[in-house]
Amino acid sequence: MDIQSILLGFLIRNSMTGYDLKKAFSMSFSFFSGLSYGSIYPALRKMEKQGLISKRLEIRSDGPNRKIYTITDAGKAAFLDTLRSPLPRDQPKSPFLMRLFFFAYLSPEEQRAIVVNYLNFVEEARRQMDLARPEIEAHADRFQFLCYEFGLRFFSDLTRNLAQVVDSLEKEEKEERK
């Protein structure tokens, strides 16, 4: 799904500010989408021009004014068309696997450092997902929670796979020292 479809998906439930959209995005799609916060506001402007959403300014005396985004009928139709369209075949892209393929050109120390650093990154992402659990449980519908659990299993599996690579590299290093 592209950023536009994701934002429409959030807005189909209820109107939101840009800040609310960023928060919802960070609690869900930031773990596995590869999309960035920086793409949210340009997408909102584009969607407004296309008539997929509308924007109203809420004047507030107790704080800064807020822009509230609401999905239009055209936006609902576009979002539902996206959901109903056939899924493309997943094309997993892993920068780690692309590098691992060519590890023979690196020293054992470099190989191990790269894997361990990436393993630490993945473990931290998994910890962040764990920390988000109470918020997700409180606000997610059952399909959103299934997605969250899928992500947890994905990061757990990735952690196990990376740990196996580290073990393999360490065994090779020990054997070379003999």
* C-beta of residue 55 within 8 angstroms of C-beta of residue 67: yes
* C-beta of residue 111 within 8 angstroms of C-beta of residue 172: no
| Half-sphere exposure at residue 173, Cβ-oriented, CA atoms within 13 angstroms | 12
pLDDT confidence of 140, banded at 50, 70, 90?
A: confident
Mean pLDDT, residues 9-14? 93
The confidence score (pLDDT) of residue 161 equals 96
The confidence score (pLDDT) of residue 34 equals 60
Q: What percent of the chain has pLDDT over 70?
A: 95
The confidence score (pLDDT) of residue 55 equals 96
Mean pLDDT, residues 109-116? 95
Which tokens in the block code for residue 48? Answer: 């407004």
Rounded to whole angstroms, how far apart are CA atoms 80 and 87?
13
Residue with tokens 């519908």: 141
Roughly how many angstroms between the first and final C-alpha of the chain, as a whole number?
51
In the chain, the largest separation of any two C-alpha atoms, in whole Å, equals 75
Mean pLDDT, residues 9-17? 94
* C-beta of residue 53 within 8 angstroms of C-beta of residue 8: yes
Rounded to whole angstroms, how far apart are CA atoms 47 and 4?
7
The confidence score (pLDDT) of residue 2 equals 85
List the 66-71 sheet strands across, edge first: 16-17, 66-71, 53-58
Say what the alpha-carbon torsion angle 14, 17, 20, 22 is, to the nearest 10 degrees: 120
